[in-house]
Structure 1
């Protein structure tokens, strides 16, 4: 293979169908894919498809910085810096995605801010607020914690820790982890919180329903009528509902400040260009207690990403990721976390579940498309009006999008059970218990501390301190914070339960699906790292027959 063939951005023959390990056994998955991982659609089409990928995760990309900004008091103390913080998330997302898709695991997965690290971030902000710290002090403290957590994740990835654990993780473990990625998000604010935008405004269920209805119609009923409906159902659905909301906002049907209002004035008042650069808020501070909390959030994001990798491979009609690919992916996510800390997002960087859902709905799994979208996001981050335009998408529209995508992700996770003997009681018990625990334990954690002046982590620490014999250990800040963050992340709870039970309850390899799983998993040699490609080993496209 020539050096030109190895370049990520060179042309790839459209008529070469992925035929990696096990793909031949999954014609439905391969047939569903419109563009495979190695495919390169026309440039104009790729730009629209790339923007669509990023529109699916715009809710998180805007909600996370807005949540941090509100907690840090930026709206009152420095309202002009909020848009810059959002822009920083866009820039970091774009650069981290380019790094992951070219140097990391080379899967078409968007990288960006993570809710797993938002919980400890808000806890850190709460402690600093009690000390009277300003928003800049809070941000540099968050930066330091994220950087250290990222360094640890780099070590976890590139030393092969996750790859070694993979041999103990079969379909019985992976299925509930992926399913919970979707199911555990049923109560995100854009769907469940009736007062998401402002007290008393309530949720606009008909606008949420309109968005959901449009995406379902475009992707499931009209996809055979025209190719545009198959490729762009999310983009068309959001644009349609967004346009309706904008018209109703301009005509006064939606009151300013309501959950459905489209604030177009914020777009015209945004600065044309906004400065985003390393250490823009100041040099990072490193506080041990804060680092431990962020470390727990990082571990939760690692488990989520592990599930995302398997989900993308399954949707794209490829074999399950090898240990080598997983290690490179987790290691690169650690690099993304370090970069996020340096740039000052106050949050980490991980694989986006929303992006996985977009692939499942559209069948577009092209790495090139995601890279084009990443370049667009970098430009959007520096171009103030564009970032503000994305920020005007009302929460109910994002909620409608999530309703469709998260359900699709849950179904993809459960489809992994096709390799498992479901007549074996052990398997049914493990999957059911893991799913229920993954929903119940985080719900419990969300209720801890309610009605008390203490935060949830502090209230849990006080309760654990009263445990006989073990209270002296469980009641420490480190242990309590770790348990609170991990226990509040559904896919981690479900994954841990399934992992322990699947590896301790007796069962044959055939019953557990491990034999079929081994046949479907790609060999380490099939993933060619960036270093290997520089040495001339060639790209990691799947093998094709001699006739091709």
Structure 2
């Protein structure tokens, strides 16, 4: 029998459901597993921007620290749901990678125009601060977009997020971008280390014991780190010359605004809203919550509003904008832990790590192959979650055409970025291109109510 629309999917593999409160040790272990999945992607954008714009070391370190503090605050808002703000699910906030390229391009232009580092950063963060309010406003429009944001559209976005992230995962699997530069990319050492981590994660995920299942990713990463340490692959240089304590200071570098920069930032924020809808839908799916109906719309509105508010807070403190992270949906699927209370532990740990940069930057010493061994599987699960969302409302020939066209265009942009170089930047992102194509086709193609829909069988969920 097909699954009915609007009802949560069966999630027999969930060890702890949304409102369950795991014991302290289990909750802490699950929180660390989530942190290991997002920590390097969380601090990397600031490191990349700082390096590309040749920012002073202390400024880059401050951006990294504030990314962690803001992510902790944002995660706490998301999981607790204060009034209309927050999804009330295990939605983890982290730095939005989509802003990296734009920040570097805008910052480079500002430096060429004669601005110093303080003026440049204050402008970049200033336009991001104002733009974040657009996301908060967009949250109230979501209920009126039911014909636009359908399970088919949301599923395509989640699918494209997963497929796009796989490129990041497989790059790390082979050794990362540094390995490409030094000629060791795809070496037997890198492949062997990543493969070992992957096998350990798979082994523990197949066990019936909930404790070992929850710890599978962490155990795989720890084992991989130890082996990498023995092989001399761990670089401790990021730990040098860091301050002992970082104190958050609102608008530390001042506040400035530029309309040209704002228009580009606003475009990226539109993309982040689209991604947030897909990420939150995937979180609801893997957490055994409805992906249609009033509860779903309420969680979606609260989650997107929190996304905007968190970016307001983040950019005021001195971090790049934040968004809901897709990686954690893969962790929920693998560990079977969907309890929102895990987010409170994650939030506290992130704030602490942000205040003590030496502790936080230690995680950046994890070699790329170790991370890649775990990320390939997790990102693949995100793509599968997107397929499940598409199938949840039934799929007809019309939905199949929408999905095929959207994924084809999205992956086309990923494979050949220059193909739409003459179009606005919104169409040069694989996730956004796939999502916008799905929206357009969903509005244009006629419905055929007489055609029998194919539903996701409940048997496939077990």
If the length of structure 1 is used for normalisation, what is the TM-score?
A: 0.75
2:57 maps to 1:55: no
Q: What residue number does 1:22 align with?
A: 7
What is the CA–CA distance in structure 2 between the aligned matches of 1:66 and 1:410, rounded to whole Å? 28
1:154 aligns with one of 119, 122, 136: 136
What is the CA–CA distance in structure 2 between the aligned matches of 1:436 and 1:420, rounded to whole Å? 21
Partner SS, residue 503 of structure 1: helix
Deviation track 1:18-62 (CA, whole Å, cap 9, x = no partner) reads xx9623xx33xx211111111111112211211211110112112
Query: Residue 421 and residue 265 in structure 1: after superposition, are their counterparts in 2 closer, same or farther (change >3 A)?
Result: closer
2:223 aligns with one of 228, 236, 240: 240
**Structure with higher helix content:** 2
What is the CA–CA distance in structure 1 between the aligned matches of 2:392 and 2:209, rounded to whole Å? 35
- Using the TM superposition, give the Cα deviation of residue 353 of structure 1 relative to its aligned residue in structure 2, in angstroms: 0.9
What is the CA–CA distance in structure 2 between the aligned matches of 1:120 and 1:21, rounded to whole Å? 38
- Asked if the contact 1:300/1:492 (under 8 Å) is kept, the reply is yes
More deviation, 262-271/309-318: 262-271
- Asked if the contact 1:83/1:388 (under 8 Å) is kept, the reply is no
- Asked if the contact 2:156/2:390 (under 8 Å) is kept, the reply is no
What is the CA–CA distance in structure 1 between the aligned matches of 2:27 and 2:450, rounded to whole Å? 42
- Using the TM superposition, give the Cα deviation of residue 234 of structure 1 relative to its aligned residue in structure 2, in angstroms: 1.3
What is the CA–CA distance in structure 2 between the aligned matches of 1:444 and 1:53, rounded to whole Å? 32
- Using the TM superposition, give the Cα deviation of residue 73 of structure 1 relative to its aligned residue in structure 2, in angstroms: 0.1
Matches within 5 A, 1:113-262: 113-157=95-139, 160-188=140-168, 190=172, 195-196=177-178, 199-203=181-185, 206-207=189-190, 210-220=193-203, 223-224=206-207, 226-249=209-232, 261-262=233-234
More deviation, 504-513/142-151: 504-513
Q: CA RMSD in A?
A: 2.6
- Asked if the contact 2:131/2:262 (under 8 Å) is kept, the reply is yes
- Using the TM superposition, give the Cα deviation of residue 193 of structure 1 relative to its aligned residue in structure 2, in angstroms: 8.1
Matches within 5 A, 1:351-362: 351-362=324-335
Deviation track 1:247-275 (CA, whole Å, cap 9, x = no partner) reads 222xxxxxxxxxxx322354475333223
- Using the TM superposition, give the Cα deviation of residue 320 of structure 1 relative to its aligned residue in structure 2, in angstroms: 0.9
Deviation track 1:299-338 (CA, whole Å, cap 9, x = no partner) reads 1111111001111111111111522221221111111111
Q: What residue number does 1:88 align with?
A: 66
2:428 maps to 1:488: yes
More deviation, 180-189/61-70: 180-189
Flag structure 2 segments of 5+ consecutive residues without an equivalent. 457-462
2:268 maps to 1:283: no
Highest CA radius of gyration, 1 or 2?
1
Partner SS, residue 117 of structure 1: helix
Flag structure 1 segments of 5+ consecutive residues without an equivalent. 1-19, 250-260, 449-459, 465-479, 518-548
Partner SS, residue 185 of structure 1: helix
Deviation track 1:84-123 (CA, whole Å, cap 9, x = no partner) reads 3211111110011111211211111100111122222122
Count of aligned pairs between the two proteins: 442
If the length of structure 2 is used for normalisation, what is the TM-score?
A: 0.88
Query: Residue 511 and residue 387 in structure 1: after superposition, are their counterparts in 2 closer, same or farther (change >3 A)?
Result: farther
Query: Residue 421 and residue 324 in structure 1: after superposition, are their counterparts in 2 closer, same or farther (change >3 A)?
Result: closer
- Using the TM superposition, give the Cα deviation of residue 349 of structure 1 relative to its aligned residue in structure 2, in angstroms: 0.9
Partner SS, residue 444 of structure 2: coil
1:311 aligns with one of 278, 282, 285: 282
Partner SS, residue 32 of structure 1: coil
- Using the TM superposition, give the Cα deviation of residue 418 of structure 1 relative to its aligned residue in structure 2, in angstroms: 2.8
